[in-house]
């Protein structure tokens, strides 16, 4: 009987210890899964059509889920630096392996945390209207008198801090183009492109896809035989180091996030038609709730 009692006591002790361990583990798991909703998630946004679209979409989605979100506007370079320093929590658009490689090399071990890609097949380069006689970048010099802007042959660009502008400067050097690269902005560039198409005039611009312009205008890339602009790329969210530990749920949602030309093009098109990124994103979300719910599945 004494032996039986001793074994029973030992068994009960083991049961209690096991229960404590399991409960502690569950509690720890709950703590790890709980995001820091008392803090504001600061997201950088720069003036590329797809970036404006997806950032405003995520602002709405996260606020619906109980998070406070603040959008900070700026150019890519300072926004990327702010993510590394922790002044921003998140950026939604880093192109790899080529376009944003300099930033990745600078910050991958110094403040950046890369999440899973949300878009594949991203591309950039020089674009002309379909009616243009030019097929490849090499042919620009022979036709430079057709592309006069401000008194000299010009390529209409976007903001000066963009990787696309850096790569276009490289293209001008690599192909020996006698062209000036005009710095402007994304909206100014597309306005110039639209006006030229309406007037059936020659124009060459820096552009990228995904972009609503490819749905709205009959345009095409100039062939790049020297591969200055590289192969199609992936677009990644980039967060400040430690973001996934502070916001494990949001991180899981972002890693589930996936868009293609149809879904992203539709989002950008609705925003352009509505004329306001927040209202446009809300309208698109109403019609695409099932897709977004797939990203948010636990």
| Residues 86/198, Cβ–Cβ less than 8 Å | no
Query: Which tokens belong to 98?
Result: 């080529």
Helix 261-274 / helix 49-64 crossing angle, nearest 10 deg: 90
∠ CA 132-138-143, nearest 5°, is 50
- 212 and 129 assigned to the same domain: yes
Q: Report residue 282 as tokens.
A: 């809300």
CB atoms within 10 A of CB 138: 16
| pLDDT value of position 33 | 61
Q: What separation, in Å, do the N-terminal and C-terminal C-alpha atoms of the chain show? A: 51
Q: Give the pLDDT of residue 278.
A: 98
If asked whether residues 197 and 276 sit together in one domain, one would say no
Does residue 176 share a domain with residue 51? no
Distances (CA, A) of 28 to 11, 250, 254: 26, 18, 23
For 42-80, the DSSP string reads EEEE-S-HHHHHHHHHHHHHHHHTT-EEEEEE--HHHHH
pLDDT at 298: 55
Alpha-carbon span 195 to 199, nearest angstrom: 6
User: 136 with 181, same domain?
Assistant: yes
Nearest to 246 by CA among 108, 104, 90: 90
Q: Which domain holds residue 58?
A: 40-121+233-295
Mean pLDDT by 10 residues, the chain (298 residues): 47 42 43 74 94 98 97 95 98 95 96 98 96 97 95 94 92 98 93 97 96 91 96 97 97 97 92 96 97 90
pLDDT of residue 288: 97
CB-CB contact of 140 with 168 (8 Å): no
**β-bridge partners, 193:** none
Domain boundary among 196, 221, 246: 221
**Which CATH number covers residue 111?**
3.40.190.10
Q: Where are the alpha helices (DSSP H) in 175-247?
A: 186-198, 213-216, 243-246
pLDDT value of position 297 = 87
- Count of the separate structural domains present in the chain: 2
Residue of 241, 213, 196 lying closest to 91 (CA atoms): 241
Per the CB < 8 A criterion, the answer to whether 101 and 229 are in contact is: no
Residue 32: the pLDDT is: 46
- Which one of 200, 221, 242 terminates a domain? 221
Do residues 117 and 57 share a domain? yes
């Amino acid at each position: 009987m004494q032996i039986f009692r001793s074994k029973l006591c030992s068994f009960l002790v083991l049961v209690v210890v096991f229960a404590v361990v399991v409960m502690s583990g569950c509690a720890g798991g709950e703590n790890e899964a709980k995001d820091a909703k008392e803090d504001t998630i600061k997201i950088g946004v720069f003036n590329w059509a797809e970036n404006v679209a997806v950032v405003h979409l995520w602002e709405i989605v996260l606020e619906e889920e109980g998070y406070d979100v603040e959008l900070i506007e700026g150019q890519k370079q300072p926004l990327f630096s702010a993510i590394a320093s922790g002044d921003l929590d998140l950026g939604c658009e880093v192109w790899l392996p080529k376009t944003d490689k300099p930033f990745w090399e600078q910050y991958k071990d110094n403040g950046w945390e890369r999440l899973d890609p949300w878009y594949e097949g991203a591309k950039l380069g020089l674009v002309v209207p379909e009616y243009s006689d030019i097929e490849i970048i090499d042919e620009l010099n022979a036709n430079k008198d057709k592309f006069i802007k401000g008194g000299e042959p010009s390529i209409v660009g976007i903001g000066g801090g963009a990787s696309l502008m850096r790569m276009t400067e490289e293209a001008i050097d690599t192909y020996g183009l006698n062209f000036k690269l005009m710095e402007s902005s994304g909206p100014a560039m597309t306005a110039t492109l639209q006006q030229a198409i309406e007037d059936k005039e020659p124009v060459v611009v820096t552009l990228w896809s995904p972009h609503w312009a490819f749905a709205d205008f009959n345009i095409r890339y100039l062939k790049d035989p020297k591969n200055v602009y590289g192969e199609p790329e992936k677009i990644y969210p980039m967060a400040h180091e430690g973001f996934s530990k502070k916001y494990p749920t949001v991180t899981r949602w972002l890693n589930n996030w996936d868009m293609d030309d149809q879904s992203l093009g539709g989002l950008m098109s609705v925003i352009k038609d509505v004329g306001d990124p927040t209202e446009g994103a809300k309208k698109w979300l109403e019609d695409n709730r099932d897709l977004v719910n797939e990203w948010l599945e636990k």
